[in-house]
Structure 1
Amino acid sequence: MHKNILFLQGPVGSFFRQLADFMAKQEDVTTYQITLNGGDDIFSRSKRTTAYVGKPQDWSEFLKAYVSKHNITDIVVFGDCRFYHRIAKKVASEQGMQLWAFEEGYLRPSFITLEREGVNSNSLFSYELFEQFNETGLSLSEGENLTRKNSFWFMSVNAFIYYFFKLIYAYKYKHYIHHRPWLFSEETYSWIRAAVRKVTYAYNDYKLSKSVKSSLSKQYFLVPLQVSVDSQILFHSPFGSVEEFISTVIESFAKNADKDDFLVFKHHPMDRGFTNYQRFIKKLCYAYDLNQRVIYCHDTHLPTLLKHAKGTITVNSTVGISSLHHGTPTKVLGNAIYNIEGMTSQKELHEFWNISCKPCVDKFSKFTRFLKENNQIPGSFYMKPTNTFAAISKIILS
């Protein structure tokens, strides 16, 4: 069967273009792309690429006509909750096409996620199949121990190029709706501020790292915060905002936790220049008389925080999986595929502070192997070994 594969928005950079080129070399495969803004444009291949410059309300009809004209069999996206991708998912379902969604790896930093229909709480992850999964005789996924220490800098450079050309070609894509609400000037200013804050907070983060390994060890609960506009908050949680999540956790901690315990909020590194919850947390601490028991940090070493924590409370961040890896009791307040009895706490939050069990090592090991065999691909969006493209092609073309 001939495959006609349509690529929409990918991660910043040339990953989708290179993947499309790789797949187009396969027998009976033709790849296409629709660009939605100048960033997509600059990283695309002009051949077989179409610019959508219409209004958001016309996107559905445009896409229906496009997939019909080119006999599209599969649509590939990065993140299934973006406006254009949500509509693409609906069109794919109506037209009997496959939709493939990429996301940052559930098992970071050496994997990327690829699933049919959607990721995170939209995943087709089946608890029944997981329980039936037999890992006996399975070999480790190739490259699972790869490290991606330099991928942040590749991503940063690609992000700058992407947003720069998004601004340059704004006249062409004047109706485009971006999944991040900030203007280019706001993005630029915020990333500069993020760099300054990283330096400013370094000393306090260093001091906290020393404390959690000594006086605070096993006397605090870690609360990793997520990006304020992350789909994990907006679409995969019961909370309307990060602030609402913070309020819920602080109120429950004040009323139920041991008086000798502490609460450590860790800001998301990708949100450092965009938001700051210091004042908000301080006000809540005054209200609940917690001024000396709540700590707010930014770049404190995450594995160290997880290793010495008494427990972790998260909405649905993949930090929760890292917490389980470190054997730390974990409570999930949103929708997460790893929220499984025996791994995460199934107690209510008000009970978790005083009744928190460690995750089952065997069950977590089985879970990670299940992910590697079903939706985790060794590699990175910003460092592109050929074997990553080959593994992706094998899945989509099968």
Structure 2
Amino acid sequence: MRILFLQGHPSFFARDLGRALMARGHHVQRINFCVGDWLFWRGPECSFFRGSLTRWEVEVEALMRREAITHLVYFADRHPYHLAAQRAAQRLGVISVSHEFGYLRPDWILVEEGGQSAFSHFPDQLAVILAATTALPPPDMTRLYIHPFWQEALQEVAYNLGNFLLWPLHPRFVADRAHVPLLEYLAYLPRQWRGRRAAAPARALVAARLADDAPFFLLALQMQGDYQIRHNSRYRDMRDFVREVLGSFAKHAPGTARLVVKLHPMDNGLTNWARVVRTEAAAAGIGARVDFLDGGDLAALLGRAAGCVVVNSTVGLHALQAACPVKCMGIASFDIAGLTHQGPLDSFWSAPERPDCEGVAALVRLMAAAVHVRGEFFSPQGRAAAVNGFVRLLEAGLARPFGAFTPVPPRLKRAQAEGISTEPWD
């Protein structure tokens, strides 16, 4: 293989992966765009792109043609540089390979051709998934790799602050972030303090919901800057999602039902979601029936909830594994007839479709085998395991040998119907 690496996760994972591939005789090149890229991978196989984003697609296509590149590897499939490179790769027949935090996290890294969600080639028909998993064993979901949070935070800060402070070294680089890194990091300080204060009330709220006979539904918030919100849903702002779900719940949920709105554990605190939820619940006339939860035991909630509403969060996949009905409001690889609620949101509150347990088990088996590798980005042991798995999967042909590859991503039509850009497929 002749592999071109673009931007990776802010860790040494991409560097280790590239060097492992070189050790096995594959040709590897890496393009750095900014100081943060250089911090985590530098060497003779690396070069800098200092031109403008408008020139990037032409130049990367020329490079791939000149170097006879067979594979393009990147982290975050919707990043503007990666999207432009995908368009060029598609014209040349180069296989694009995206990696991300796994759907089955923690301890798993996602490896998919093209991208995730709307751009995933993973099958969307339960019969296909069941047929492909007859000989696959269930994956071991025991957590093996743990790293201290400070290590993750330090590498993330080093990457982004390096770019922020040394921007004159790459003035044309376009950082595709929803928030200015420095502002986001400063916001995390009071957010961490509030999170610690909220721990005890969160435990009490979870205990109260579990002890109450009244049914409750869970609404899982996602982070505003998440690519899955910005590029795999019709929501430009999570407030719109909250408003829509609360409005539907007010009109169509049984009068005895409650709604628990759970904050994302890594929320940056730039939006006061507790206030947003209180305001929207009061406007919908259901203030007394809506709880806001910062923390708490998610597994315990999913085991008891009458249903879970997500945009496309992996919380939905965890809910399916807990036999909890799920309604997806965005594009998700696990949003499949027979597993998730396929009717409108308004019908979910009174008649949620329950997941087929055999189908969920088959989905997890195929996802683990075909589009995941075991490991993580941070701890040396977890990184080494993930690198070895990535190399094996890449050399074997990714998801194709498992029967888990659909030539045209099967969720594109739905994305287009919802007004979502489907580059490079549109």
TM-score range, shorter chain: over 0.9
Tell me: CA distance 1:364–1:139, structure 2 relative to 1, closer, same or farther (3 Å).
closer
167-176 vs 368-377, which moves further: 167-176
Tell me: CA distance 1:332–1:97, structure 2 relative to 1, closer, same or farther (3 Å).
same
Q: 2:368, 2:387 → 1: CA distance?
A: 16
Tell me: CA distance 1:57–1:323, structure 2 relative to 1, closer, same or farther (3 Å).
same
In structure 1, the residue matched to 2:136 is 138
In structure 2, the residue matched to 1:319 is 315
Per the TM alignment, residue 99 of structure 1 is displaced from its structure 2 partner at its CA by 0.5
SS across alignment from 1:5: strand
| 1:146-165 equivalences in 2 (<5 Å) | 146-150=143-147, 152-165=149-162
| 1:1-398 equivalences in 2 (<5 Å) | 3-27=1-25, 29-128=26-125, 130-131=128-129, 133-141=131-139, 144-150=141-147, 152-215=149-212, 219-383=215-379, 384-398=382-396
Per-residue deviation, residues 187-240 of structure 1 (Å, max 9, x unmatched):
22022232222123223212212212212x662110001110212112111222
Q: 2:136, 2:198 → 1: CA distance?
A: 45
Q: 1:83, 1:271 → 2: CA distance?
A: 24
Q: Is the 8 A contact 2:302 2:324 kept in 1?
A: yes
SS across alignment from 1:115: strand
Per the TM alignment, residue 131 of structure 1 is displaced from its structure 2 partner at its CA by 4.0
For CA contacts below 8 A with separation 6 or more, give which structure has more relative contact order. 2
Q: Is the 8 A contact 1:151 1:380 kept in 2?
A: no
Q: Is the 8 A contact 2:78 2:227 kept in 1?
A: yes
Tell me: CA distance 1:242–1:15, structure 2 relative to 1, closer, same or farther (3 Å).
same
10-19 vs 333-342, which moves further: 333-342
Q: Is the 8 A contact 2:2 2:70 kept in 1?
A: yes
Amino acid at match of 2:332: A
Tell me: CA distance 1:260–1:140, structure 2 relative to 1, closer, same or farther (3 Å).
closer
Per-residue deviation, residues 26-49 of structure 1 (Å, max 9, x unmatched):
12x121111122211100123211
Q: Is the 8 A contact 1:263 1:293 kept in 2?
A: yes
- Provide TM-score, normalisation by structure 2: 0.87
Tell me: CA distance 1:140–1:210, structure 2 relative to 1, closer, same or farther (3 Å).
closer
In structure 1, the residue matched to 2:417 is none
Structure 1 residue runs without a partner (length 5+): none
Tell me: CA distance 1:148–1:219, structure 2 relative to 1, closer, same or farther (3 Å).
farther
Q: Is the 8 A contact 2:151 2:378 kept in 1?
A: yes
Q: 1:274, 1:325 → 2: CA distance?
A: 32
Q: Is the 8 A contact 2:2 2:69 kept in 1?
A: yes
Per the TM alignment, residue 135 of structure 1 is displaced from its structure 2 partner at its CA by 2.9
Per the TM alignment, residue 5 of structure 1 is displaced from its structure 2 partner at its CA by 1.0
- Provide TM-score, normalisation by structure 1: 0.93
Q: Is the 8 A contact 2:8 2:14 kept in 1?
A: yes
Q: How many residues are aligned here?
A: 393
Q: Please tell me the root mean square deviation across aligned C-alpha atoms, in Å.
A: 1.9
Q: 2:356, 2:151 → 1: CA distance?
A: 37
Per-residue deviation, residues 308-331 of structure 1 (Å, max 9, x unmatched):
211101111111000011111111
Fraction of identical pairs, as percent: 26
3-12 vs 176-185, which moves further: 176-185
12-21 vs 301-310, which moves further: 301-310
Q: 2:346, 2:286 → 1: CA distance?
A: 17
SS across alignment from 1:248: helix
In structure 1, the residue matched to 2:404 is none
Q: Is the 8 A contact 1:228 1:275 kept in 2?
A: no
SS across alignment from 2:288: coil
163-172 vs 350-359, which moves further: 163-172
SS across alignment from 1:17: helix
Q: 2:171, 2:214 → 1: CA distance?
A: 53
Structure 2 residue runs without a partner (length 5+): 397-426
